[in-house]
Amino acid sequence: MKRYMIWAWSLFAAMGLMTACNEEYTTYEGPEYVMFSDTLSMHVVTHDADYFTVPFSATVACDYDRTFAVEIIDAGSNAIEGVHYTLESNTITIPAGKLAGEVHVKGNYDRIEPTDSLGFRMRLVMPEQLKWDLYEGYDETKVVMYKVCPFDVNTFTGWCVVTSMFLRDYPGENASYQRLIQTEQHPTEANTVILHNALFDGYDITITFDPSEPANPLVTMDRDQVLSDEASVLGWILGDNHILCDDSSYYPSYFNACQSFVELWMEIYIENLGETIGTIGHFYNVLEWISDEEAERLQREEGM
């Protein structure tokens, strides 16, 4: 059977360097150095963004503007300047009295594919005495870009292939840990989709999308949704004969609007009269939305 497994991109956190120096209060005493805030940064490219910024900083403030050049390093770059991105300027300035500046980069949304992970290396062109041996290499940085498509809840309606690690361990009457289901937009809840027969026939659950932060597109679930009965899946009844699910408190769930998939971590548990009596575990699931034609093929050729 064809496997519909997607390796999703990961998000990286940037480390900031914050130092300050002025005439009245001094927190750093020493030479002037200038550097990028990190040697690697991740940036989303959206259809409506003018640019993203790559920060750099200095150890001391000066009473005059400081201007430096920026150059692109071919080695280690797979993004093409003028095609995938454009620098607003090849010179950058730290204004008088300030400790930081920014390189403005315009990502070319239409020239980046949904599966691309494109990067380029930049170097600050400046006198050697402004480079700090303690932070060797911080005069260069690697910028990685990836595309984030506009959110539309209708992207996540229709036919969906579910690949579930819970079904692998507890298949019940399912013949496979993959199943073909249908989904629809919730009639009253915003950005919410109903997964009909999500993991087991006769049991629908809902998921909700949070597109407020393009770099952190989260999916959540309401608590105490019924996934199945205990008897047919587990072979015994310890609670009220309901297997319940919620989004995992350990692992966040994400969606990808460009590639129409969700990585859903579920906590699955059992209750009796409203009291939790046992957690079965935290299980990873991938939901991939497909066309009507692909759904028909899977039903015809794969028996899904």
Query: What does 156-204 look like in DSSP terms, one character per residue?
Result: G-EEEEEEEHHHHH--TT-SSSEEEEEEEE-SSSTTEEEEETSSSTT--
pLDDT exceeds 80 at position 135 = no
Mean pLDDT value of segment 126-137: 82
pLDDT score, position 130: 84
Q: How open is the CA angle 173-174-178, to the nearest 5 degrees? A: 165
pLDDT exceeds 60 at position 14 = no
Report CA dihedral (249, 251, 256, 257) to the nearest 10 degrees.
Answer: 10
pLDDT score, position 24: 45
Position 27 confidence tier, pLDDT thresholds 50, 70, 90: low
The one-letter amino acid at 233: V
Alpha helices in 225-276 (DSSP H): 230-234
Mean pLDDT value of segment 286-295: 98
Q: Which pTM value belongs to this model?
A: 0.81
Nearest to 44 by CA among 116, 132, 133, 128: 116
Nearest to 156 by CA among 109, 210, 195, 205: 195
Cα 89 to Cα 33, 59, 184, distances in angstroms: 22, 23, 46
Q: What is the C-alpha separation between 71 and 94, in angstroms, rounded?
A: 17
Domain ranges of the chain: 34-147, 153-302
CATH assignment of 34-147, given 3.90.550.10, 2.60.40.1740, 3.30.110.30, 1.20.1560.10? Answer: 2.60.40.1740
pLDDT exceeds 80 at position 99 = yes
